[in-house]
Structure 1
Amino acid sequence: MPRKSRLSVALLSLATAVPPHILVQEEAKAIARALFGGRTRLFDQMEPVFDNAGIARRHIVKPTDWYHGDHGWKARNQVYLEAAETLYVDAAQKALDRAGIAAADVDCLVTVSTTGIATPSLEARVAGRIGFRDDAERVPLFGLGCAGGVSGLATAARLAATGQGRIVLFVALELCSTSIRLDKLSKANIVATALFGDGAAAAVLRSGGGGLATIEGGGEILWPDTLGIMGWDVEDPGLGVIFDRAIPPFVEENMAMAVERILDRLGLDREEIDRFTCHPGGAKVIAALETSLALPEGTLDHERAVLRDFGNMSAPTVLFVLERLLEAGMSERTLLLALGPGFTVAGLSLVRP
């Protein structure tokens, strides 16, 4: 893999947002048991997933009664659009305010979301409400799944680096609960019901160093013949989750070598990374990351805390972890990591200014 020159892009601000409705894990388990109906044998086998997920609560876009209903594609996507616009504005405005940047000063808008269809895309739908310029470049990214928080932020950084003083607003937003399927009993659907929540994160970037951290660049590794590990099936009445139980052992076996390749592309050695900051896909995935990266058990403490408090929100989740790391005091250099459909890993290096 050829090495490339490192970027110098400032992360000026980072903000997160969640919808108002809170679902505690015991309630989620009870709802799932009730709504999967009389098909209890498989649910009985899979019920420990709720207890062992490392999740105490999650935020969801609708009251729990909504999930008892029979919703088709149109109804699900309408909920997605309405809630996504609200969350986008919330996260984006917080990030802009923290950076001291006016919406009219943003040159480029990068948006990651894979849990609904928005055409026109989300940043276009809220442009008038927030006050974006009519000539701001728009870059909506779809299909990245859980890796989108890292790969999308890397894309935003590369776009910021194309001009002196260029400002980019990055938003990662996923409403996983709108795709929870209780009409079809499967292991993947039970796991999804136990894990997924909703949330958004936003960051303001500007070419040059400084800010909360300086983004140096990143890379991605796509493993061949792994399309069936993670993703969506397009079905009626909604998206059907693809979730292979082999994810934790796959991570344990392959992550270390993938990280070495990403670091080599950046011209960095493993010893130069002071902390790995990872997408917490689930309790077993976190443990597999620690094993593969030869980290002492419990090292990924912020990851476990975010998983406990918010569940797996897909793309924005790793940015919730980064937010906690920044609040606690970021070490000299951290490597953001997230796994997603493909099957792929995305990495991004940040250094303390």
Structure 2
Amino acid sequence: MAKIISIGTAVPAHQHKQEEILQFMQRVYAMNETDKRKLKFLYHQSGIQNRYSVISDYSKPVNEWKFYPHTENLEPFPSLELRMGWFNKYAAPLSVDAIRNCIEHKIHSDEITHLITVSCTGMSAPGLDLQVMELMDLPKNIYRSSVNFMGCYAAIHALKMANSICNNEKDAKVLIVCTELCTLHFQREGTIDNITSSMLFGDGSAAVLVTHDSYNHPGLVIKDFYSEIISKGKKDMAWELSSSGFLMTLSGYIPELIEEDFEALVNKSLLKSGIKKEAVDYWCIHPGGKRILEAIHKSLQFTNGQLKESYKVLNDFGNMSSPTILFVLKAILQHIDFNKEQNIFGAAFGPGLTMETFVASTHA
């Protein structure tokens, strides 16, 4: 069996209040007063107070913008090349910050045997994995792999890979780092998809250290994984390349689809793991948005703050895509008592519509 030893997180230097981003977007979308009021209502209902970005522009006056042009019509609007240039500049240092936060007082960097990088907001070859290797001076023969373009559930997919590696190699020390710079891809057209994306997403990075259960350090034992695709939601959540960046499709039906199917998914996952719902002490749910958390709360008939860590991460950081669930898990780990048997159920959602879950415990 494999276990999670530690989780580290990092965010960019620029913190933006949700109200500041609202004012920026009202300008970008060139809205009339009626539409501005509607957008303001949506932002105030988002459950988000702060987000972080590698871009300072969202809370700066026009003459101090660094990423967007100072022109009235925002031309030339940032190209895909510019966005990827910024990703290549900022993603690796942010990843290293998360990794160092993760392994501090746990292991030395030269003990890392496997590196798995995760991102859906930037791609290149050589890519993030080699950049991290160089910045941290990791061994040239390190095993490395990349999980690209899988979206918000990709961290769980990477944990599956780490689990398999550690089950086969008892001395493995697998380092996963999920880094997303979502705010590089905000778009100018005032479509409902673009408005929703610019209201929800932020930048962040999270790293997790996974070892075999025999490693002499307390950790969260990974029990099992389970995933399903809701085929009827295939077109409701999508992530595609375009000449002006990556384009997000986020249908308003997603919370309804999740509410309808989530309880059955949980029951199947717990049955596979041999754990009853009543035995779950913590629910580590990806905060894709306030309405998604409300849908899960209703689907599972929660009554007593079972999703408080998810709501807190959403409030403080927004939806950062793949690292977000690790931010939630890190918050949960601060409450865990490793002297007791405690169980965690985790779930995240992404394009497909894909729902990925994991079950972990303080005891094997």
Same fold by TM (over 0.5)? yes
Q: Please state whether the residue corresponding to 2:101 is helix, strand or coil.
A: helix
The alpha-carbon deviation at position 67 of structure 1 amounts to 5.2
Q: Please state whether the residue corresponding to 1:257 is helix, strand or coil.
A: helix
Asked if residue 326 in structure 1 is aligned to residue 353 in structure 2, the reply is no
Asked if residue 12 in structure 1 is aligned to residue 5 in structure 2, the reply is yes
Distance 1:297 1:12, change over 3 A: closer
- Percent identity of equivalent pairs: 26
How far apart, CA to CA, are the structure 2 residues paired with 1:68 and 1:121?
25
**Maintained 8 Å contact 1:15/1:92:** yes
Which amino acid in the other structure matches residue 291 of structure 1?
K
Select 1:123's aligned residue among 106, 125, 129: 129
Select 1:36's aligned residue among 29, 35, 41: 29
Asked if residue 22 in structure 1 is aligned to residue 8 in structure 2, the reply is no
Asked if residue 193 in structure 1 is aligned to residue 186 in structure 2, the reply is no
Select 1:83's aligned residue among 90, 114, 118: 90
Which amino acid in the other structure matches residue 271 of structure 1?
E
**Maintained 8 Å contact 1:9/1:215:** yes
Select 1:208's aligned residue among 205, 213, 226: 213
C-alpha RMSD of matched pairs (Å): 1.7
Provide the residue aligned with 2:346 in structure 1. 336
**Maintained 8 Å contact 2:53/2:183:** yes
Number of equivalences: 344
**Maintained 8 Å contact 2:233/2:254:** no
The alpha-carbon deviation at position 300 of structure 1 amounts to 0.8
Distance 1:41 1:186, change over 3 A: farther
**Maintained 8 Å contact 1:39/1:185:** no
How far apart, CA to CA, are the structure 1 residues paired with 2:171 and 2:356?
26
The alpha-carbon deviation at position 39 of structure 1 amounts to 6.1
Which amino acid in the other structure matches residue 135 of structure 1?
N
Provide the residue aligned with 1:114 in structure 2. 120
Asked if residue 236 in structure 1 is aligned to residue 229 in structure 2, the reply is no
Q: Please state whether the residue corresponding to 1:329 is helix, strand or coil.
A: coil
How do 1:1-353 residues align onto structure 2 when only pairs under 5 Å count?
8-38=1-31, 44-64=37-57, 65-66=65-66, 68-69=68-69, 70-99=77-106, 101-181=107-187, 183-209=188-214, 210-296=217-303, 298-329=305-336, 332-353=342-363
Cα-to-partner distance string for 1:251-276 (whole Å, 9 max, x where unaligned): 11110111122222323332332221
Question: Which is worse superposed, 197-206 or 289-298?
Answer: 289-298
Q: Please state whether the residue corresponding to 2:231 is helix, strand or coil.
A: coil
The alpha-carbon deviation at position 297 of structure 1 amounts to 5.4
The alpha-carbon deviation at position 128 of structure 1 amounts to 2.3
The alpha-carbon deviation at position 313 of structure 1 amounts to 0.4
Higher RCO (C-alpha under 8 Å, 6+ residues apart): 1
Taking structure 1 as the reference length, the TM-score comes to 0.92
Q: Please state whether the residue corresponding to 2:233 is helix, strand or coil.
A: coil
Q: Please state whether the residue corresponding to 1:215 is helix, strand or coil.
A: strand
**Maintained 8 Å contact 1:277/1:335:** yes
Gaps of 5+ in 1: 1-7
Question: Which is worse superposed, 244-253 or 328-337?
Answer: 328-337
The alpha-carbon deviation at position 44 of structure 1 amounts to 4.4
How far apart, CA to CA, are the structure 1 residues paired with 2:14 and 2:137?
28
**Maintained 8 Å contact 1:13/1:211:** no
**Maintained 8 Å contact 2:7/2:102:** yes
**Maintained 8 Å contact 2:283/2:306:** no
How far apart, CA to CA, are the structure 2 residues paired with 1:328 and 1:258?
26
The alpha-carbon deviation at position 119 of structure 1 amounts to 1.4
Question: Which is worse superposed, 232-241 or 13-22?
Answer: 232-241
